[in-house]
Structure 1
Amino acid sequence: QQLTSFVGRGKVVADLKRLLFEARLLMLLGPGGAGKTRLSIQVATEVLNEFPGGVWWIELAPLADPALVGQTVAAVLGIREAGGRPVVETLVDELRHRQLLLIFDNCEHLVGACAVLANTLLRKCPGLRILASSRERLGIDGELHYRVPSLTLPAPGQTVTAAEAREFEAVALFCDRARAATSKFALTDANADTVVSICRRLDGIPLALELAAARTRALSVEELERRLDNCFKILTGGNRSALPRQQTLRALIDWSYDMLKPPEKKLLSRLSVFAGGFEYDAAEQVCTDAEVEEFEILDLLTSLVDKSLVVADTERELTRYSLLETVRQYARDRLEESGESAIYRQRHLDALRRFAADAADAIEGKGAARCADRYEIEHDNIRAAIDFAQSSPETAGKALELANNTWVFWYQRGYYRELAARMPAILAATEHMGQTESRATGLLASANAHLMRGDYEQACRQFEESLRIQRDLGAPLPVWRALFNYGNALNLVGKLTEARSCLEEALRMSATIPKTEAGSHINLGETLALMGDFAGARAHLHEALGRYQESGNNSAIAEIEGFLGRMCQQEGGLDEAEVHYRRALELLRTDRFVGFGYFVGPYCFAQLALARRDFGRAARLFGAHAMMRERLGTPLPPVIRAECAEAEATLRAELGVPQFQAEWKWGRA
């Protein structure tokens, strides 16, 4: 009889009960603490009546001698060993005609002995089935593997209420055990996101969640979440009746680590430098040396996957490997202890620099969406590499290089807060390097972040400084880039005469700089459109459109379609405007480009609905636009502030304030 409730796992239990009658040897695989033992107990309880010969629990964790496995099974079944006769033969004779289920719990340290015994019994006892739990497979014929998943969690970034959070298994288990620890614990809307964060940082692993929940006797969930950066110090003091290795998180992972061969230990510790996963080629680049050679990586990596210390996601085009965060923290500590941490973090940094240098050339052209998706996959690795690089004056320049090759991705996918937070620190760390092209590019990136965050004065100062440095250095292409970006900024802040001068200079430079004319035409066309010169604007925008269609730059094409639509709308061509807006929106959805989407999406369609006197729809779309800007941390740019205020005033007058507010609120939701 279990003394604590069994939480969640309904689908997993149903799957295991079905599979148990499809395969005679069912292996539950997973890392320590994943809940394999508790699942086995639950399944055994629910299938008890299906086995006339009984369901028998074989606890193998205390055994150290492989020779004792057969004797332990015999003892549990009450079978006496015959003198001078191998115990396996006695077991076969006794079980040959019985229908029963044996549950082998904790096989990983006795894999060889368990495999031999299971193979013999299953071949000679047709009514026997075995359910076994381990961190690695037995490797015999007929073995069916079931990888025990972590408990369910909300999607990353998903904000939930207390009621919504309770529907997820990890949260439900944490709350159940926290209430057992202290009657004062309650899940509320105010602490739900913190509890979810705790559960996510502990990978949804049941044992880790139970150890964390026990700490609520002395800590609030906010204090607990802050202390999880070193979870091994906080996650101790488990159930005293449990096995010693299940009373602390470190002891649990020690158990698995101690069974590894030396090369496996080295690779596991080196893999901890990756954040958010890695592919085989990256592991080969970063983790090899004279002790772990390239030709060994695949076999060692496969072994770590088999032993449930590395997770392999084979659903992708390229298999993606990762470490559970608890395992990664443990492996990182081991790498620090070895004195090799700086070496392999430097290698990791260099690998990310090579990745970003290659990807930066493709992020604004044909295939930009696929390139941005690759950045998205490596985003956590990029963050970790920048954090490491900017921590030392010797490597700060590499942090700037990596950020310079990443900022367009941050901009396109709407990571404005991150861009704004990172660039000042990186620029400060590299100030000693002087007025270089790399610094000027960093200033340009930082300026774009300030621009999207609404700090227009700082943005313009940095654009001007970047342009000054590039002019002093004299290379034409970097000067053009500075003019192009500064002109765009001046458009957004409404300084249209200055923008026109800046962008006309950029257009003149484009005559001698390949692949820059389209960019000059698009920004100058937008300037003229904002100044009311629609004929001049269309000439430049159509020139840019043709060039971008040739190069396949969908985000630029969408921007052009958006401005063409605005001009049509202002001229009264509402249907034609809608055609342009829909083209733009489709392209932005295809490339998942956020940078211009908040404008051409709800804002343009809100203005279109207002022009058609569909006031309720207009109010809802303006509400959606406001919510989108808030999520991105992007205020209204000065160039459209007045028209937006005028539109909202019109809607309040037409709908009345209560209805306007209701429609606005609906749109925000």
Structure 2
Amino acid sequence: MTITGIAGVGKTRVALRAAEDMRRAFADGVLFVELSSLSDPERLAQVIARALEVPDQAAKPGAQELADYLADKQLLLLLDTCEHLVDACARLAHTLLAAAPGLRVLATSRQPLGAPGEHSLHIRPMEVPTREQARSLPDLARCESVALLLDRVTAADPGFRLTEDNAEAVAELCRRLDGIPLALELAAVRAGTLPLASILQLLDERFWPSRGRSGEYGPGPGGVCGRDARHRTMREAIAWSHDLCTEEERLLWARLSIFPGRFDLAAAEAVCADERLPAERIYPAVDGLVGKSILVCVKEPDRTTYRMLDGIREFGAAQTAGPEERRVLRARHRDHYLALADAAVTVPPGGDQAEQWTRVRAEWPNLRAALEFCAADPAEADTGARMVLVLTYLWIACGMSREGRHYAEWFLDVGRPEPKTRAGLLLLLAYLLVSLGDLRGARARLDEAAALAEGVDDPSCRTSVIKVRGTVAFGEGDLTSAAGYLGEAIELLGGEERDLVVLTAMVELGITRLWLGQVDRAAEVLGASKRMSDATGQSWIRSWADMGLSLVLRARGDLPGALALAREALGVQQRLHDASGASLCLELVAWLATGQEDPMWATRLLHAAHGQWRKVRRPLYGSPHFLAEHTRCEERLRRALPRRDYEEAATEGGAMSMEEAIAYALRSTCPPAPTAPPPAPGPARPAEPAEETPLSPREEEVADLVAEGLTNREIAQRLVVGRRTVDTHVEHILAKLDFSARSQIAAWAARRRH
């Protein structure tokens, strides 16, 4: 369904209200994705995947990966502001709906998308009062546009009341503004300082030249009528609000239009302040624009941000002096967010790396706009390439490998970075390709970087080549070569180096030594990496060191200690959205839990981890050593459980989302099996043979929970499994017992309890 209509008519509000009303019909909820800040249609699938927190490390195309992820979901996807991406939205909607029977798409756009099977709902402006309605206060108050205007005027002037004296002015104001909600709100803002008659007079002075006869909405002098006239009304209402702003507010409005989405006060000062608009005048101007409904203030737990509605942003952009001024603003915007990322590279004393980069990740719409500015302007390509390198941590630690690959390849292919920067991009790309499972591509990029590094007068560049050789060798399973390269890189970088290169090399060397059977030497380098990470607040590297040390403790027989370290590492990976790290942590917890906890619990977790690996890359990096551990764990669990129980637990685990799997893994123990209530006291009866049942133990458990009156959603939460898994169990129960209703399941389960 596409909701269409002119700017300011309330398409987004209607869609949000509809989505809220329908939320209970979708087991997996409602996802709202704002597209106004996206300019590249090729990135549409990635933007939606990011909003869904789909791991961004798969080698498959974005649309196909997204379709696979949504295939078993019951979800309402709300795409807001699609008019600049009509074709891309239509294609993606068609792909997703074909793959996901439980998916529904609700879009807002100024025009229909043209997708197969699309329904279009055109939102018209609100009803405006007739002359007859204006003669009756109750009738006038019931008119849609009047009700909205009165609500907004009362907010600006709490003492305002609809009376016989002002009824005609209220009605005429609604008619002049064509019942367009945003136009009414912009006019109502002035009611705090001006009577309605004065507001109407100001509107007359501005609108009269472009109108036909007063109160008539047929063709005017220019031959424009109907819908086009309402477009013009909206533009005029925004322009009128612009006229009522102070000079500083008008200047700031134009400059703030450079932001694609939300921004905070620090960003506004960095981008918009100069000699014409000093930094100390930014906040008063921002406050004034909020008061005039030009800016929307969004209060978040840790900060306050602001945003503009699309039509208001478009008007502001048109007020800039020209392309050169916008280019200057975009360069300032880029510089601010580049500095933000650059500051996060070094963790201050007592700081937390994960916290810093979580904030950087939240600014992705602005970072993307900055990178696209550099990609579109050859003069900015060198800065763009440097920005890609500064954001290395975002690409490798925050679940954004594919985005990093896209921009690294772009600036390598389109830009002409100097040799050192080009070598850095090639090494970054090789590392990302290893994480994406493309070892052949990684080897090719590494060889190209090595050839460049020979001609660069920078020892650290050549050392980085050696380090990435070790990473590629590890991915290929050549542990002896990997240990040699990684050890050499660490030695060349020096014991005092504490940057990302040396710390990742130490973790990779530690895990390599583990698989070579060198447990004590592995513990030594992993322990050193952990201490260095703690000293510098490098929590992501610390989490990987903890994963390695959990394997060391496992080799030494300390399974409880190993399990505690793996769970601690998983919490950090979850904060950063590191899908590969989280998937490996899930595997480790399953391996360590096998033999210690309920085998059903461990089986679910093992297959939950395996399900996540299938989404992000080749399972367990394709490492034969990790895969061998997975196989051994699986064989132990198969021996510990009856075949039916194992297959049931494996199915449930494979259906878990990443969030469900992490929640399941972080539980200290598996939940105890539900027990039947004790029998009510009564006369003793001879024991009866237990009723034979065709249900599996898990199906019996689900049947008992149905008898308690729980919905499938509530059962899924109780058992920590996916909603679709419970749906499948209920369908199997109905089929096996030849029932047609849940009430029959409840009655059957109640009989068995007694």
Same fold (TM over 0.5): yes
Q: CA contact under 8 A between 1:161 and 1:192: conserved in structure 2?
A: no
* RMSD of equivalent CA atoms: 4.3
Instruction: Tell me what 1:230 maps to.
Output: none
Instruction: Tell me what 1:606 maps to.
Output: 590
Deviation at 1:405, TM superposition (A): 0.7
Rounded to whole Å, the distance in 2 between the matches of 1:169 and 1:496 is 46
Instruction: Tell me what 1:313 maps to.
Output: 298
Pick one of 276, 301, 321 that aligns with 2:286: 301
Pick one of 627, 641, 651 that aligns with 1:641: 627
Instruction: Tell me what 1:362 maps to.
Output: 347
Q: Deviations over 1:581-617 (max 9, x none)?
A: 234335545x536266324421101112334474322
Distance 1:463-1:365 versus aligned 2 partners, 3 A rule: farther
Q: CA contact under 8 A between 1:275 and 1:380: conserved in structure 2?
A: yes
Is 1:257 matched with 2:239?
A: yes
Deviation at 1:469, TM superposition (A): 2.9
Distance 1:212-1:458 versus aligned 2 partners, 3 A rule: closer
Q: CA contact under 8 A between 2:31 and 2:77: conserved in structure 1?
A: no
Instruction: Tell me what 1:480 maps to.
Output: 463
Distance 1:514-1:282 versus aligned 2 partners, 3 A rule: same
Residues 207-606 of structure 1 aligned to structure 2 (within 5 Å): 212=108, 219-220=114-115, 243-244=177-178, 246=180, 251-252=233-234, 254-260=236-242, 261=245, 263-289=248-274, 291-332=276-317, 335=320, 340-362=325-347, 366-430=351-415, 432-434=416-418, 436-511=419-494, 514-515=497-498, 520-588=505-573, 592=576, 594=578, 597-606=581-590
Q: CA contact under 8 A between 1:510 and 1:520: conserved in structure 2?
A: no
Deviation at 1:499, TM superposition (A): 0.7
Instruction: Tell me what 1:617 maps to.
Output: 601
Instruction: Tell me what 2:26 maps to.
Output: 163
Distance 1:162-1:253 versus aligned 2 partners, 3 A rule: farther
Q: CA contact under 8 A between 1:275 and 1:381: conserved in structure 2?
A: yes
Rounded to whole Å, the distance in 2 between the matches of 1:318 and 1:270 is 22
Q: CA contact under 8 A between 1:554 and 1:588: conserved in structure 2?
A: no
Q: Deviations over 1:624-652 (max 9, x none)?
A: 21343355456431212343345445545
Deviation at 1:201, TM superposition (A): 9.3
Unaligned stretches of 5+ residues in structure 1 = 1-30, 40-148, 172-187, 203-208, 226-233
Is 1:196 matched with 2:59?
A: no
Per mean C-alpha deviation after superposition, the further-off stretch among 635-644 and 650-659 is 650-659
Distance 1:568-1:515 versus aligned 2 partners, 3 A rule: closer
Rounded to whole Å, the distance in 2 between the matches of 1:194 and 1:616 is 33
| Equivalent residue pairs, number | 491
Rounded to whole Å, the distance in 2 between the matches of 1:541 and 1:307 is 57
Rounded to whole Å, the distance in 2 between the matches of 1:423 and 1:343 is 24
Write the letter of the residue equivalent to 1:602: L
Instruction: Tell me what 1:129 maps to.
Output: none
Unaligned stretches of 5+ residues in structure 2 = 1-6, 35-69, 85-104, 129-174, 181-226, 657-721, 723-754
Rounded to whole Å, the distance in 1 between the matches of 2:307 and 2:553 is 51
Rounded to whole Å, the distance in 1 between the matches of 2:234 and 2:448 is 55
Rounded to whole Å, the distance in 2 between the matches of 1:543 and 1:215 is 60
Deviation at 1:254, TM superposition (A): 4.2
Distance 1:169-1:478 versus aligned 2 partners, 3 A rule: closer
Residues 115-194 of structure 1 aligned to structure 2 (within 5 Å): 151=17, 163=26
Q: Which has the higher contact order (CA 8 A, sep 6+)?
A: 2
Distance 1:322-1:503 versus aligned 2 partners, 3 A rule: same
* Percent identity of paired positions between Structure 1 and Structure 2: 21
Write the letter of the residue equivalent to 1:443: L
Residues 55-74 of structure 1 aligned to structure 2 (within 5 Å): none
Instruction: Tell me what 2:650 maps to.
Output: 664
Q: TM-score, normalised by structure 1?
A: 0.63
Distance 1:343-1:189 versus aligned 2 partners, 3 A rule: same
Distance 1:151-1:297 versus aligned 2 partners, 3 A rule: farther
Q: Deviations over 1:288-321 (max 9, x none)?
A: 4555444432222111111112122344544322
Q: CA contact under 8 A between 2:261 and 2:366: conserved in structure 1?
A: yes
Q: Deviations over 1:555-598 (max 9, x none)?
A: 22222221222233245442332233234335545x53626632
Rounded to whole Å, the distance in 1 between the matches of 2:644 and 2:607 is 14
Deviation at 1:418, TM superposition (A): 1.8
Rounded to whole Å, the distance in 1 between the matches of 2:321 and 2:600 is 60
Rounded to whole Å, the distance in 2 between the matches of 1:272 and 1:359 is 26
Q: Deviations over 1:241-286 (max 9, x none)?
A: 6753626567435413332135433322321221332222322222
Q: CA contact under 8 A between 1:615 and 1:654: conserved in structure 2?
A: yes
Deviation at 1:387, TM superposition (A): 0.8
Rounded to whole Å, the distance in 2 between the matches of 1:195 and 1:405 is 33
Deviation at 1:471, TM superposition (A): 4.3
Rounded to whole Å, the distance in 2 between the matches of 1:615 and 1:211 is 45
Q: Deviations over 1:25-72 (max 9, x none)?
A: xxxxxx955699x99xxxxxxxxxxxxxxxxxxxxxxxxxxxxxxxxx
SS at match of 1:196: strand
Q: CA contact under 8 A between 2:579 and 2:616: conserved in structure 1?
A: no
Rounded to whole Å, the distance in 2 between the matches of 1:447 and 1:380 is 25
Q: CA contact under 8 A between 1:151 and 1:170: conserved in structure 2?
A: no
Q: Deviations over 1:346-397 (max 9, x none)?
A: 2212222222222223399942022112202322111011011111221111
Q: Deviations over 1:117-166 (max 9, x none)?
A: xxxxxxxxxxxxxxxxxxxxxxxxxxxxxxxx974868xxxx98963589
Rounded to whole Å, the distance in 1 between the matches of 2:420 and 2:435 is 23
Rounded to whole Å, the distance in 1 between the matches of 2:24 and 2:82 is 16
Rounded to whole Å, the distance in 1 between the matches of 2:523 and 2:383 is 42
Q: CA contact under 8 A between 2:345 and 2:390: conserved in structure 1?
A: yes
Rounded to whole Å, the distance in 2 between the matches of 1:663 and 1:258 is 64
Distance 1:362-1:379 versus aligned 2 partners, 3 A rule: farther
SS at match of 2:78: helix
Rounded to whole Å, the distance in 1 between the matches of 2:469 and 2:349 is 18
Write the letter of the residue equivalent to 2:651: K
Distance 1:621-1:381 versus aligned 2 partners, 3 A rule: same
Deviation at 1:458, TM superposition (A): 1.1
SS at match of 1:312: strand
Distance 1:163-1:374 versus aligned 2 partners, 3 A rule: closer
Distance 1:664-1:406 versus aligned 2 partners, 3 A rule: same
